[in-house]
Homo-oligomer: A and B are copies of this chain.
Amino acid sequence: MFRKVFVVGSGMSNVGRFYERPLRDLAGEALFKAIDDASNVVPEFIVVSNMLSSQAEQENLASLVADYCGLRGTSGFKVEAACGSGGAALVAGYALISSGLANVVAVVGVEKLSERTTPEVARGLAYAADADFEIPYGISFSGLNALIMRYYMNKYNVGRDDMSAWPILMHENGYYNPYAHLKMKITAEDVVKSPIIADPIRLLDSCPMSDGAAAVILASEEVAKKYNDTPVLIAGIGNALDSTDISSRFELDSFLASRLSAERAFKMAKLSPKDVDVAELHDAYSINGVITLEDVGFAPKGMGAKLVAEGRFKPGDKPSVNPSGGLKSRGHPVGATGVYQVCEVVMQLRGDFPGVKVGGEVGLTQNIGGVGSNITTIILRR
């Protein structure tokens, strides 16, 4: 780690279903906002994160986005790590600057799912699992997470209402986020009345399938102040891999890659979970939010859901968790989600997030690809 790296610009499109907007248009909106936020700097590298543009027969997105934004002649590539693509792209962006290969890098996460039917997208999301040894048995991505939720609830004697506390908190927070996909408040009764997706996962345990794009501009310590009066330091960044399939895992109620990536990020930042003021965790399903509360170190094992039900992790608590509304309410534009999280935490630390404001000095994001198979944790510091 030879050169410190700062976030000097952030930009997001709304999250939702934008049938009429091409992928490049969403990416361009986010990138132009981020460039504008960074005093109109011209990035030297563009790292694009995306998972499923192949379903719309488009790859080579770094060229596509760079050209659309008037940046021919810059450098770049796409990073893919399933739903964890955004976090992984930030690792690449960090390395490009810290190595000295570039002074200013744009990381642009973008996903456009609404061009495809819901069954097509559900099938696409399963590309994150094992196509040879897992998916042929007919299980979906929701089904895999349902196995984990059932196992966790049974092992730790966690009831339905305790699990429901997570999505209720998410919708309470996301209701005030102008970028959020699902702006509505929900009750425990709403959750149990919502349809079963893959037992015990119900519709209101699940994030929506979203379109959206988010971008950050990263800059080296030498130039960061030139582009933003309030640069936010990437104090720690860690990534870890686990198997794509869950059948060969040693444990189902915890993600090895979540623990390892968080350990790596905290070690690099010389900080610990108790230092974190605000966190954005990856709650594609309620169970993911709950498990990662524990794996990151915010809750003892088996206590994640119970603590949320007791009222912990609300805005103003330490840490506040998912003031954006998380994947559940803000939405989950797959390859862009990890970049949204960083935009949101950066804005919280700067004090200009347009939804629920929680402030603080230290923030954390954790972005999950697959069923815990590729996870990136980032620690940000004002």
Contacts and interface: CB of A to CB of B under 8 A. Distances in A.
Interface string A202-217: 0000000000000000
A57 B135 contact: yes
Interface in A85-119: 85, 88-89, 91-92, 94-101
B60 A82 contact: yes
A88 to B, nearest CB: 4
Nearest to A57: B131
Given A63-B241, A74-B241, A241-B63, A58 B260 contact: no
Nearest to A132: B22
A24 to B, nearest CB: 8
A59 B3 contact: no
A90 to B, nearest CB: 10
A230 interface: no
A64 interface: yes
A71 interface: yes
Contacts of A101: 1, 91, 94-95, 98, 237
Contacts of A373: 60, 63, 67
B241 A46 contact: yes
Q: Is the interface of A mostly helix, strand, loop or mixed?
A: mixed
A79 B77 contact: yes
A75 B240 contact: yes
A162 interface: no
A81 B78 contact: yes
B59 A243 contact: no
A239 interface: yes
B72 A242 contact: yes
Interface string A330-373: 00000000000000000000000000000000000000011001
A306 to B, nearest CB: 29
B60 A370 contact: yes
Interface in A192-250: 237-245, 248
Given A22-B132, A127-B54, A374-B76, A81 B60 contact: yes
A238 B75 contact: yes
Q: Across chains A and B, which 6 residue pairs bring their CB atoms closest together, nearest first?
A: A98-B99, A77-B88, A54-B54, A95-B95, A58-B131, A59-B127
Interface of A: 1-3, 22, 24, 45-46, 51-52, 54-64, 66-67, 71-82, 85, 88-89, 91-92, 94-101, 123, 126-132, 135, 237-245, 248, 256-257, 260-261, 264, 369-370, 373-374
Given A1-B101, A75-B239, A98-B100, 13 more contacts: A1-B99, A54-B54, A56-B131, A58-B130, A59-B82, A60-B80, A60-B81, A60-B128, A63-B369, A63-B370, A74-B241, A75-B241, A98-B101
